[in-house]
Amino acid sequence: MVSKINSCVLAGLSGHTATVETDLGRGLPRFDVVGLPDASVKESRDRVYAAIKNCGFVYPVSRITVNLAPGELKKEGPIYDLPILVGILAASKQLPEVPATAAMIGELSLEGKLRAANGVLCMAMHLKSAGIEEFFVPEENAAEAAMVKGLTVYPVRDIQQLAAHLKGETLITPAAHTEYKPEVPDSLDFVDVIGQETAKRALIIAAAGGHHALLIGTPGSGKSMLAKRLPSILPDLSEQEALEVTGVYSVAGMLPKGQAMIKSRPVRAPHHSISVNGLAGGGTHPRPGEISLAHNGVLFLDELPEFHRDALETLRQPLEDGEVTISRVSATCTYPSRFMMICAMNPCRCGYYGHPTKSCTCSEHQLREYRKRISGPLLDRIDIHVTVAPLPYEELEKRPKGETSAVIREKINRARKIQAQRYKDHGITTNAQLTPTLMEKFCTPDQKGQALLKAAYERLGLSARGYDKLLKLARTIADLEGSAEIQAQHIAEAVQYRILDREEIM
C-alpha cells in the first residue's frame, strides 16, 4: 500500500511540487529514502523513527521505502520529516490518507514537535498556484504562509495535534489571512539635514524614479547622514513587491522573529570589505547576497572606491537583468535583485579635491588611480551624480528647517503612482526602467525643452550615454511636479545631476 503526500522543493525562490511516496513492503525491516535526498534528508529516518515511538504510534515492522518525487530535483534539509512520518502512519493505517489537495512540510524534534523552516512563503505561493488548497506548516511559519490569499494554512505544533485533525477529532484552526498594508519604517528624518538642497533633491528624484545615484563629497559633508535617512522617504512597498522581498528574507532565514511579512523597502549597506559571494550570493549552500536582500529596496555602497573591484564587477549583470544567477556544482538558482543603488565617495584619496578652503594633497597620478577604481560600466548605469559640498558656516548656524520625510514621501508616492499608471501595459513601473523604445513614446520634451536639450548636448558636451539618462531624469522631475509634458525647466534641472558628463573628473 503506497501513501502519497504533497510537499515542496525550493530552488532559489521558486517552488516545485514534490510528492512523498511511502511504501510498506514485505522483507527484512529497513528504511530507505530515495529520490535525490541529501545527507540532511537521510537523517530524517532517525528523527521520524524516534518521533513515531515517542508519540504513541507503532513503528511498522516492514521494509519501508520513501520516494521523494520527482527524482531529478535535489531535496535538501529536514523539511520532509513531517510528510515522511505521516506517510508511514497512513500506509500502516494508523492515520487516514491525506487528501491530494493538501501539502505539508516541517522538521521534527525527537518528541514529535515541529520546528520552523526557511522559505515557507515561497513554498506557499507555489503550492497555491499549483492548485493546493491546504498547507500544513510548523506553527511558527503559519502567519508567513497565510500571507498567500486563498490558501488554507494549518499551524501544526506537534504530531498528536495533527493526528487528531487528520482523524477528524479536533480540527486545527487555520491561520488568519491578514490584509496587506505597507508600513513606514522607523528611521531618521530628513528634517535633520541642514542645507544640502542639491543632494537632498537628488535623492528625492532617485527615490521617485527608481534611479541609481552617486554622491561625491568631501569628508564630513553629510553623505552618510543623507543615506541613513533614505529609508524614510522610499515609496510604499506594494503587496506584490512585499511578497517578493519577504520571499528572499524567508529563504535566507532572515525574517525577523514574529514578523510574517516585510512591509517596507529594505535598505542594505554592506561594508566595503564584502566578498563577491556576500554581495552577489553564493556559497556551497547558496544564499541570497546583499543585492538580493536589497531587492525592491536600496543597496547603499558607502566609500565606493574601497570596494573590491571583482565585487563591483558582479553588480553589472544584476543591474541589467534585475536578477542574479548563482551556479554551483549541483544546480543553479536565480534570486531577484532589482534594487536602487546609492553610492557615496570622496572626490579623491585625501578627500579634499575641490574643497573651498582645504587643499588636496593628491598627485595627478593618485587622483586618476582613485577614480579608475570605479569601472566605467558601473558608472554607466548610474543616472544621477551630484557633489555634496561642505556646509557653509552660515547655514549651519541658521539651521534652516527643510521638509520632513513624511511630506517628501507623499510627493514621491504620488510620482510613483503616475509612473505605475503610465507604464501599466508596458511591464515596467519606474522611469529608471525605461527602454529606448518606450522613451521615444513617453519622453519627448515640449518644444522649448527640445531646444534646451540640443543646446545642452552641444554646448555642455554631454555624452551620448548621458543623453538617455538625462531624459529619464527629466521625466521623473516632471512627474514629481505632476507635469504630463517634459518642459525646459525639467531638462535644465536634470543637467545638474549629470556632473560627470560635463567635468573631466572621471
Ligand X SMILES: Nc1ncnc2c1ncn2[C@@H]1O[C@H](COP(=O)(O)OP(=O)(O)OP(=O)(O)O)[C@@H](O)[C@H]1O
Contact 98, 90 (CB under 8 A): yes
CB nearer to ligand X: pick between 309 and 398: 398
**159-166 vs 81-91: helix axis angle to the nearest 10?**
50
The entry of Zn ion, ligand X, Mg ion, none that residue 314 binds, CB within 5 to 8 Å by partner kind? none
By CB under 6 A, name the one of 6, 62, 65, 196 that touches ligand X: 196
Residue ranges in 332-351 that form contacts with Zn ion under rule CB under 5 A: 348, 350
The residues near 54 (Cβ < 8 Å, ≥ 6 apart) are: 110, 111, 112
Q: Is 391 in the site for ligand X (CB under 6 A)?
A: yes
Q: Is 224 in the site for Mg ion (CB under 5 A)?
A: yes
Q: Give the Cα separation of 276 and 212 in Å (integer).
A: 20
The entry of ligand X, Zn ion, Mg ion, none that residue 193 binds, CB within 5 to 8 Å by partner kind? ligand X
How near is the Cβ of 338 to Zn ion at its closest, in Å? 35
How near is the Cβ of 494 to ligand X at its closest, in Å? 23
How near is the Cβ of 359 to ligand X at its closest, in Å? 17
Q: Is 37 helix (H, G, I), strand (E, B) or coil?
A: strand
CB nearer to Mg ion: pick between 15 and 217: 217
Q: Is 360 in the site for ligand X (CB under 6 A)?
A: no
209-236 b/e with 16+ CB inside 10 Å = b?
Answer: bbbbbbbbbbeebbbbbbbbbbbbbbbb
Residue ranges in 217-236 that form contacts with ligand X under rule CB under 6 A: 217, 219-225
CB nearer to ligand X: pick between 252 and 391: 391
Contact 218, 192 (CB under 8 A): no
Burial of 366 from C-beta contacts in 10 A (0-12 / 13-18 / 19+): middle
Number of residues that bind Zn ion (CB under 5 A): 5
Residue ranges in 356-415 that form contacts with Zn ion under rule CB under 5 A: 360, 362
User: Percentages helix, strand, coil for the chain, rounded to the nearest 5?
Assistant: 40, 20, 40
Q: Is 269 in the site for ligand X (CB under 6 A)?
A: no
Compute φ and ψ for 51, nearest 5 degrees. -65, -40
The residues near 506 (Cβ < 8 Å, ≥ 6 apart) are: 371, 374, 379, 500
The entry of Zn ion, Mg ion, ligand X, none that residue 346 binds, CB within 5 to 8 Å by partner kind? ligand X
How near is the Cβ of 346 to Mg ion at its closest, in Å? 9
CB nearer to ligand X: pick between 306 and 503: 306
How near is the Cβ of 459 to Mg ion at its closest, in Å? 35
Q: Is 162 in the site for Zn ion (CB under 5 A)?
A: no
The residues near 396 (Cβ < 8 Å, ≥ 6 apart) are: 194, 195
The C-alpha angle 398, 399, 405, rounded to 5 degrees, equals 155
The entry of ligand X, Mg ion, Zn ion, none that residue 360 binds, CB within 5 to 8 Å by partner kind? Zn ion
Q: Give the Cα separation of 314 and 318 in Å (integer).
A: 8
Footprint of ligand X (CB under 6 A): 193-196, 217, 219-225, 346, 391
Footprint of Zn ion (CB under 5 A): 348, 350, 353, 360, 362
Footprint of Mg ion (CB under 5 A): 224
